[in-house]
């Protein structure tokens, strides 16, 4: 379904002719297919938040709705990735268009062509439900990615494969109670505004060794817990975050830099891939030996989230 732009005010775009669209749907705006999200609906008029620069966009431009909410791709290939705030893979985009990232670039968040070595952990005849592990993929030398049944799927395994597959190829087929066959791949798309379900939430019981003696002594953090570092400008909040991400006793680091200064994100993007820390529990490195996933969304718009 498509509509027409009637008003542009910075990142806010108003479009009509979208009566069948829904709030939170992802849309593509204008000839450059700028990515946006519907904030509010009133009749067939939609107010859209565009996540890219809207200069040059004017009334009459076409708006195409995808019919799906803002979602992320979850699967092998995320570890060692560098993404912006809406999971666009910045390294892949730079390979495609160069360091000066252009608007409207469309690149899948997870590599759809790369083959992964899938080893099944179920057999034909097994009954599985959402969250059950059907196989594993060695994503990096330190991360064994467990492939699970999507939360809203269940049934009996009637086909299971082993070998090398990309994330879009069918690796397992379930037969539901109503007789429908459900193909499963190694990738799941999940709406960002819906929390992932869980069966049991365990209370924190063990301390997190942060690698910073002052924190471990005076402000200990529990594994599975949360922590906050309040403070004014320039007090070292981001530095503390960097140190925790580098030296904590963890297997996987997901670093999210939201509203960071461009130079601080540049430090992260330059330092983290080059770290090589050999311990029993963690090693950071580039090229198949890492356990870091970086998300960047800082306040320098020329190179969004990438090195300056």
Q: Is 246 a residue whose pLDDT tops 60?
A: yes
CATH of domain 72-109+200-308: 3.40.50.300
Q: 146-169, pLDDT tens digit by residue? A: 999 999 899 999 999 999 999 999
Q: Is 287 a residue whose pLDDT tops 50?
A: no
The whole-number average pLDDT for the span 263-280 is 67
CATH class of 2-69: mainly beta
In angstroms, the CA 168 to CA 151 distance is 18
Burial class (CB in 10 A: 0-12, 13-18, 19+), 206: exposed
Contact 292/283 with Cβ under 8 angstroms? no
Q: Is 294 a residue whose pLDDT tops 80?
A: no
Q: Is 181 a residue whose pLDDT tops 80?
A: yes
CA distances for 139 relative to 91, 116, 143, 248, angstroms: 18, 8, 6, 21
Q: Is 65 a residue whose pLDDT tops 90?
A: yes
Specify the CATH architecture of the domain 116-186: Beta Barrel (2.40)
% the chain with pLDDT above 70: 89
Q: Is 35 a residue whose pLDDT tops 80?
A: yes
Question: Measured at the alpha carbon of residue 281, what is the angle toward residues 249 and 266, in degrees to the nearest 5?
Answer: 65
More confident residue, 238 or 11: 11
Domain with CATH 2.40.30.20 in the chain: 2-69
- Beta-carbon contacts of 122 under 8 Å, excluding residues fewer than 6 positions away, are 128, 132, 133, 134, 135, 157, 160, 172
Torsion-angle region of 244 (φ positive above 0: left; ψ -120 to 50: alpha; else: beta): alpha
Q: What is the largest CA-CA distance in the chain?
A: 61
Domain with CATH 2.40.50.100 in the chain: 116-186
In angstroms, the CA 253 to CA 4 distance is 42
């Amino acid at each position: 379904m498509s509509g027409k732009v009637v008003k542009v005010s910075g990142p806010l775009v108003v479009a009509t002719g979208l009566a069948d669209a829904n709030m939170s749907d992802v849309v593509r705006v204008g000839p450059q297919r700028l990515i946006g999200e519907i904030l509010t609906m009133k009749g067939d008029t939609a107010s859209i938040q565009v996540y890219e620069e809207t200069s040059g966009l004017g009334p009459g431009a076409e708006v195409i709705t995808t019919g799906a909410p803002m979602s992320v791709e979850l699967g092998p290939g995320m570890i060692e990735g560098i993404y912006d705030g809406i999971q666009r893979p910045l390294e892949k985009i730079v390979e495609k268009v160069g360091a000066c990232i252009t608007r409207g670039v469309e690149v899948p968040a997870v590599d759809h062509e790369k083959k992964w070595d899938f080893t099944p952990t179920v057999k034909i005849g097994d009954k599985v439900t959402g969250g059950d592990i059907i196989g594993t993929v060695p994503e990096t030398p330190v991360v064994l990615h467990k492939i699970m049944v999507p939360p809203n799927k269940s049934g009996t395994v009637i086909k299971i494969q082993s070998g090398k597959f990309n994330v879009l190829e069918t690796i397992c087929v379930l037969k539901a109670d109503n007789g429908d066959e459900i193909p499963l791949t190694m990738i799941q798309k999940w709406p960002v505004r819906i929390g992932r379900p869980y069966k049991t939430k365990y209370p924190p019981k063990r301390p997190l060794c942060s690698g910073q003696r002052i924190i471990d002594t005076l402000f200990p953090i529990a594994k599975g817990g949360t922590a906050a570092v309040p403070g004014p400008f320039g007090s070292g909040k981001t530095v503390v975050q960097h140190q925790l991400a580098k030296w904590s006793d963890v297997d996987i680091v997901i670093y999210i830099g939201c509203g960071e200064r461009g130079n601080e994100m540049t430090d992260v993007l330059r330092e983290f891939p080059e770290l090589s820390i050999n311990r029993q529990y963690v090693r950071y490195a580039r090229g198949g030996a890492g356990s870091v996933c970086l998300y960047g969304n800082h306040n320098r718009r020329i190179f969004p989230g990438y090195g300056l």
